[in-house]
A and B are shown apart, each in its own frame.
Chain A
Amino acid sequence: MSLSLRPAMERRRILLGGLGALAALATGPAAFRALAEHRGRRAATRAGLAFGTTVSLTLVAERDDAFEPAFRDAFAAIRAVEAAGSLYRPDSALSRLNRDGRLDAPDPLVLAMLRFALTLAERSGGAFDPTVQPLWTLWSDGAARGERPGPQARAEAVSRVGWRHVAVDETGIRFARAGMCLTLNGLIQGFAADRVMAALAAHGIADAFVDTGEFAAAGAHADGTPWRLGLGAHGDRPSEVIAPFAGFAATSGDDATAFSPDRRDHHIFDPATGLSPTALSRVTVTAPSGLLADGLSTAAFVMGEAAGAALVRLYSGCAARFTVKL
């Protein structure tokens, strides 16, 4: 489960190279600009803050005046997802649900994310579980005190985890047990990528590269070269590059918000044990939607390589890349 409540800056670091090259091109060398202008296309990038980290959108269009409305609606889409399910916002629908234990007339975006999360929880045998937030609280409070939670405290927190105890219907969301807390951080950035791509498509933008914390791309860069996505950091270089990159990609890794220097304890938890899974250091899933990519990468991280790959195979158009922990 991806549960970062702190800026997941680290997470971005693992996706360096291809994106870096691309970003350099966006503001770019003269040769690139000449080529892009020759094709009559121009690119623009807009960065911002969302989900406690930075996001950025790179769009390609033929006219300068096409950018501003597209940026506006794309960021509006991000804000709407945040207002529904961000734990960084004390007034988001999800935060209110966690505070009150119930949410009447829930935001359709929250419903969409939560229903997907519960379905995935069922299909992954509970490896993906949106109710692991009490574990986050336990570990982050412990880290603040410089302590590692003991078995008793973990068992207590695990007793408050369980996706089956969340009741969802059109009229409301309720927790069947006291002390429960939901997180959608395991899929919200991917969902935001879906919403942004939809908003851009509505503006007729066919070429775009979107980073909402997870990644999405369509079409090609202004100079006609395909988008590239770098995975994993190896010094200054990505350890792997997806090129051409189109569609959606999400990564779950042990280096975002680690509680221990050896990355044994971090922001992804096995709902059954209350500990972080130890087999993998990174899983990247490419998928036809951001929601799928993000949710599956988290689930596969918890399940390990064999079971994770099996789960991903159940979904058409999805593929996973595993990096085993050394």
Chain B
Amino acid sequence: MRRAGCRRAEEPSLTGRDARTALCHLIAILFVFLALPAHAGTLGRAGMEKQFPPPLVVGERDDRIPVWPILKQEAGSYEVIAYAFESIDFARIPGFGGTAPNLLIALAPDGTFRDARVTSHHEPVFLEGLGSEPLFAFVEQYVGLSARQPIRVGRPNARAAGAAPATTVDGISMATASTRVINETMLAASLAVAREKLGFGAVNIGLRVEAKPDVEPLGLAELERRGWVKRWQITHAEVDAAFADTGLSDPDPGAPEKPFAELTLAYLNVPTIGRAILGEAAHARLMREIGPGAHAVMVVSSGHWSPLPDEFVLGSVPDRLTIQQGGLTVNARDAAWERRDLAPDLPAGPWSLLKIGDAAGFDPSAPWSLSVKVTRERGQIFPEKVACEIAAEYRLPPELFTREVPDAGPSWTDSWRARGVELGIIAAALALLVPVLARQDVLVARARPFSLFRFGFLAFTLGFVGWTTQAQLSIVTLVGTVRALVHTGDFGFLLYDPPSLVLWGFVLVTLVVWGRGTFCGWLCPFGALQEFVAFLAKPLRIRQVTVPPRLDRALRQVKYVVLAAILLAAALGSPLADTFSEVEPFKTAITLYFIRSWPFVLYAVGLIVLNLFVYKGFCRYLCPLGASLALAGRLRLLDWIPRRPECGSPCQLCKVRCRYGAIEPSGKIDYPECFQCMDCVTIIRDPAQCVPQVLAAKRGKRLVPQPVAAE
């Protein structure tokens, strides 16, 4: 007894340790094999020299950002012909599979793309699918285009069809989401480099905001009332509050409520404001002088303290005044304008007309702020200056401006608009499907019409949802989601495939109501394909192979292992997740219409042939998407398949007729394995088929179906 007791005590700890050790080994092995993808550019000098061989010269890398000047030598002098960089260092935009593509880009000093190549990508549609050539050809289109202009991805052959060749590249059908990611990567990375090296591309690249020419004859008083001419009073109390934590008091104290400074500011480009202050002629002259695209802001100081001190130099950048917008300081310089042009009823005092250049990226239709810098001194002999800034906001109604937003290229709203018709058709189909499945007494109960409906709906799923709209849900989306969750935090990629997203939403809802069956049995195009092929089994006299129950149970678990491997690889950031995802034949059979290299076609066709012998064997044993839905389907609220007390004991009809093996001998439904084909529901509602009812009818009784849960 004692020994046995000891052993019992030891055993769990031993197995626990073994399990832990095994797990550690497993994780260690996984880490060794799942090489983490590169998170930074990898080319280095040697790589760059290979990409830009002599006579080109790869210059010394920039010391702050990973950019390599590419030079050409001519008669002893060097000339920069491009700046080369890897996009991954500047714009890491997750692709459709969740991993960011990496492009080698060479940007000429005038902002045109001199070279663009793909160095790595994990876009599922190209990997082993279309092949990488279309992607390479897609990227080559950028050569010669300018990064100064927004570039959008058009439809395939958009350029031949008349789209603006300077701002459009031809898209690739079936790869809309991937080409969008590549386009965004190209532009974002180039803009980041251009900003550093070429000095263009402030925040609002391409944005043109201009004051409308309309003039409203308004007086100064009305402009002030509207806040278009802003009166800003800073009290001593406000300044003291700003200096509160420095412990410095006002060297020239005034009553707290008394004004410390009084400023009047106005944005002069708007003619209504500008003419009221300067008069028509001087306003026109000012606008001409500052030039198109530049802005003029008036500041008049009339208070006790002035941000424009006596020593302020005309034409210089004021050091006590700054204009800020969106958290960035806007470069503003005094325009050296004469006071006599200013309206006589403006307060007397120092003034400045500040000029904001075109390149500053200033948007006058958005709020901006003016801040004044007040300094106080600490100490007597070597005084230390302490500065505090106090800011006030200025905003004008956007209606005063015309805003020309640059065409930002395809955004997610574009893809929703473009696919509106498809979305409508899918939504209508779903709206038809729900009541049919929910009201079991209407259509499901009638075997013949219902099987016709099912045949028709599956044809729609395969032909329209699958082959036409390319909305086959796939484990790839789940992989992307896990990668976004763990690594990038960017779920934006989901928005670019509207039909799939709508289906995902529908599937998640039906998961909770009915379980995985709604997708697997009705909305999976590959499932529908298998079902159609299975119709051939009978004419071909193929008999179903009976999988022994124990083997069947074991095989059902395989799909969970496949799912775990894929998601783990995705969570570890390994590109193996893409490879593992190929267990799905969806891309081959649905996305690429079987036009793919032969091993993939062989695999997909093999699964369909297997389906003739083991009905939907892929779905039940291997499908990682089905596994994930089966897991999530455990949240299902309804036991919606009606049962009778006789189900299982003694009647086994439904169990035998279930082609998915989802009914246990006891009559219990194994919902995670149920494909919602409704066969058993039809049987149980058919007095001529349902054995207990047939027997009862013979005995002269009539049995009422007893659903175990609400329908």
Contacts and interface: CB of A to CB of B under 8 A. Distances in A.
Interface of A: 9, 12-13, 15-23, 27, 45-49, 54, 56, 71, 75, 79, 101, 138, 145, 153, 156-157, 160, 177-179, 230, 236
Interface string B164-204: 00000000000000000000000000000000000000000
A230 B76 CA distance: 10
Contacts of B311: 177-178
B315 interface: yes
28 contacts: A12-B77, A13-B77, A15-B77, A16-B75, A16-B76, A17-B76, A20-B75, A20-B76, A23-B76, A46-B59, A47-B57, A47-B59, A47-B71, A47-B73, A49-B60, A49-B62, A54-B59, A54-B77, A54-B78, A56-B78, A71-B60, A79-B63, A153-B336, A156-B313, A177-B311, A178-B316, A179-B313, A230-B76
Interface string B70-105: 010101111110000000000000000000000000
B388 to A, nearest CB: 16
Given A21-B76, A138-B315, A157-B315, 17 more contacts: A9-B77, A15-B76, A18-B76, A20-B75, A22-B76, A23-B76, A45-B57, A46-B59, A47-B60, A47-B73, A49-B60, A49-B62, A54-B80, A145-B289, A160-B313, A177-B311, A230-B76
Interface string B282-314: 000000010100000000000000000001111
B585 interface: no
A77 to B, nearest CB: 12
Contacts of A45: 57
Nearest to A75: B60
B54 interface: yes
B76 A19 contact: yes
B331 to A, nearest CB: 11
B312 A178 contact: yes
A16 B77 contact: yes
Contacts of B63: 75, 79
A178 B313 CA distance: 7
Contacts of B414: none
B69 interface: yes
Contact of A145 (B62, B291, B314, B315): B291
B71 A54 contact: yes
A46 B78 CA distance: 11
A179 B256 CA distance: 33
Q: What's the interface size class on B, roughly?
A: 20 to 34
Contacts of B79: 9, 54
Contacts of B78: 12, 47, 54, 56
Contact of B314 (A17, A156, A177, A230): A156
A49 B313 contact: no
Main SS of chain A's interface residues? Answer: helix
A79 B61 CA distance: 11
B69 A49 contact: yes
Given A178-B312, A179-B316, A23 B73 contact: yes
B197 to A, nearest CB: 9
Contacts of B77: 9, 12-13, 15-16, 19-20, 54
Contacts of A48: 59-60, 69
B319 interface: yes
A145 B293 CA distance: 13
Nearest to B319: A101
Nearest to B55: A27
A138 B54 CA distance: 42
Contacts of B59: 46-49, 54
Nearest to A45: B57
B76 to A, nearest CB: 3
A79 B316 CA distance: 30
B292 to A, nearest CB: 12
Q: Would you list the 8 A-B pairs with minimal beta carbon distance, nearest first?
A: A48-B60, A20-B76, A179-B313, A19-B76, A54-B78, A12-B77, A179-B316, A20-B75
Contacts of A236: 75
Contacts of A22: 76
A138 B336 CA distance: 12
A107 B684 CA distance: 90
Which of A48, A79, A101 has the largest count of B CB atoms less than 10 A from its CB?
A48
B54 A27 contact: yes
B328 to A, nearest CB: 13
Interface string B34-51: 000000000000000000
Which of B54, B76, B319 has the largest count of A CB atoms less than 10 A from its CB?
B76
A138 to B, nearest CB: 8
Contacts of B71: 47, 54
Contacts of A13: 77
Nearest to A238: B76
Nearest to A20: B76
A160 B315 CA distance: 11
A75 B59 CA distance: 11
Contacts of B316: 160, 178-179
